[in-house]
Structure 1
Amino acid sequence: MLKQQILQTKLIEKFSPHFILVENESHRHSLELGGESHFKVVIVSDYFENITKISRHRQIYQLLSDEFHNGLHALSLHIYTLSEWELLEKVIPKSTSCITRKK
């Protein structure tokens, strides 16, 4: 199973999201194509009501600790309640590249 599928499955099981996006962004951070080390996660869930942003991040990092021990290097986390997501007009944040490729 691809790491992307593993991450998505664990996040869905734990947080029962209204919306989830798990996007492999490894190509933005490494010259190695097909890598599975960097992911963007957008997750919208009622679970996050009354939970601070830092606690939300901690819970996700704890949930995915095995993946970090098995090659996952970084997550770009965008974690919202449904009302926060609606205030953002359901816009998925853009990603940046950490590398520039030589031609």
Structure 2
Amino acid sequence: MTRLERIQEKLSAALAPTHLEVENESHNHNVPKGSETHFKVVIVSDAFEGLGAIDRHRRVHAALADELKKGLHALTLRALTPAQWQAEGGAEFKSPPCLGGSKAG
């Protein structure tokens, strides 16, 4: 099972999303070919009702704690309620460009 599949499985089990997109964006970063270290997640769930952005991110990070300990390096995250998702019309969410981390300069 790939890390992408594990992320999908863990988020589905923990947060019962009505919409979930997980994309491996490692190829956009300075990592070896075939890496699974940088991901973008768009998740829509009733579990986020009444929570601010930080608490939503905490819920996602808690669900992925094992992955974060085992090499998941970066997570670009958009966590919405179904009402927010509907109001935005499922607007596209783009990750910020990679600035090269410690190699930028």
Compute the TM-score of the two structures, normalised by the length of structure 1: 0.90
* Equivalent residue number for residue 67 of structure 1: 67
2:55 paired with 1:55: yes
State the distance in 2 between where 1:31 and 1:10 align: 24
Higher mean displacement: 6-15 or 59-68: 59-68
The one-letter code of the counterpart of 1:72 is: L
Say whether the 8 Å CA contact 1:28–1:96 is kept in structure 2: no
* Equivalent residue number for residue 42 of structure 1: 42
Structure 2: 5+ residue stretches without partners: 101-105
Structure 1: 5+ residue stretches without partners: none
State the Cα distance separating 1:31 from its structure 2 match: 4.2
Overall identity of the aligned pairs, in %: 43
- SS of aligned partner of 2:12: helix
Compute the TM-score of the two structures, normalised by the length of structure 2: 0.88
State the distance in 2 between where 1:77 and 1:31 align: 20
* Equivalent residue number for residue 103 of structure 2: none
- SS of aligned partner of 2:57: helix
* Equivalent residue number for residue 22 of structure 2: 22
Aligned residue pairs total 100
CA RMSD of superposed structures (Å): 1.4
- SS of aligned partner of 2:21: strand
Partner deviation per Cα, 1:9-59 (whole Å, 9 max, x = no partner)? 000011111110010000111242211000000001111111111001011
